[in-house]
Amino acid sequence: MKRVIRNGSVLYHGELVSCDVLFDEEQILAVEEHIDTDAEEIDAAGLTVLPGLVDVHVHFREPGYEQKETIATGTAAAAHGGFTTVFPMPNLNPFPDNPETVKEYLQLIARDGIVHVHPYGTITCGEKGRTVTDYTALKELGIRWFSDDGVGVADEDVMRQALLRAKENDVLIACHTEDMDYRKPGSSVQEAPYAEEHGWAGIPNACESAQLSRDLQLALETGARYHGCHISAKESVEALRSIKAQGADVTAEVAAHHLLLENTDVRGTNWKMNPPLRTHEDRMSLIEALEDGTLDFIANDHAPHTLADKEKPMAEAAFGIVSLETSFPLLYTEFVYWQKRWTLAQLVDWMSGKPAKRFGLEKRGQIEPGWHSDLILVDLEHETRIDASQFLSKGRNTPFDGWTVHAAVKETIVDGVAVWKGE
């Protein structure tokens, strides 16, 4: 069925223009000043039309941890936040590290997902860091992205073997880097005087950057495609800048919370994430690295937990916050609306076009005739307040509850069909 969006402001070729967008379930058919058609109309008066957002780093917890999140609730949260494509991480039970498990996992996604869901396989079997997963077998099922998110691959020889296998199979390795030799028992936040004042065990920058530096060198040596997850430290930025200058095929992401918050903002367990919120110097290095291309795009590490997971002492509480329903409004408000440091087109490219391109999604991430009909309608004219009680995610673990934002997603369209619509 054909539908046409009228009266909206459309982000088209990097500019906001007043035009109509005609589409069906397969693709965008036309973007013109006025389209003469009898298609069903969507009145977007007062709204801005953007390509659907893409998040290459989310946690949906199913199978195995359905009390935290499911495919159904996770994709509903994605739609609510304007994300039409997501990549869930594989730290599940069972791990998606073999064809039989992956087939069942894909059936679950097909049944319950309301946005496009592209799951990761594991880098190593059971995320144990010992035996490299059979990438060839999983690629035959459509899995072209592999991560052991939640843990780093400690053994250098195993990491080298994984990258060589990835190169052979033309698949992407995405790594959470964490050298546990730098971690003390109960480590929870950034290692800094602020943590000491509160009696919290700290995590140094080297916990991330040391293993990342090793991986980047291995990626250069093997020629494999490598992606760094949730970069948070200035030393990591420096390592990325250096290895990119040498021609390695590497990219890296940064999460919204690391762009917005610092270690001295921590007030409790809803500010506890891994990697932790770091210093002002670290945060500014991340912002500047995103702007100069050292960091490639934004991905948010949506990490839902139960209330019980978070209502514990800092050292015992779970790491992570939910982010799918807040990241675009927060980043737009801070960097586009208030600071005017970024343009809307830049932000959308970092949250849609660039991740889509790096992760091999053809004709997604832009509004263009012939491209997929994944679109969102957003209100950029009125203030609203983040209310965690209204999240569609099972998780309520956010430090942003009650924040005022100047953006709200009003409708999310996936393959030409509205999958979420607000008031």
What is the rounded (10 degree) CA torsion for 63, 64, 65, 66? 50
Which token pair is 283? 């945060």
- In terms of Cα–Cα distance, which of 13, 17, 15, 14 is closest to 5? 17
Integer Cα distance of 228 and 409 in angstroms: 28
Which token pair is 64? 């195995």
Task: Give the strands of the sheet with 15-18, arranged side by side.
Answer: 15-18, 9-12, 48-51, 375-379, 408-414, 417-421
Q: Bridge-partner residues for 41, per DSSP?
A: 4
- In terms of Cα–Cα distance, which of 196, 188, 192 is closest to 312? 188
**Annotated catalytic, 20?**
no
Q: Quick count: other Cβ atoms within 10 Å of Cβ 369?
A: 13
Annotated active-site residue in 20, 55, 149, 301? 301
Which token pair is 341? 């440091």
- In terms of Cα–Cα distance, which of 86, 96, 218 is closest to 157? 218
Q: How far apart are the first and last CA of the chain?
A: 24
Catalytic residues, by residue number, are 301
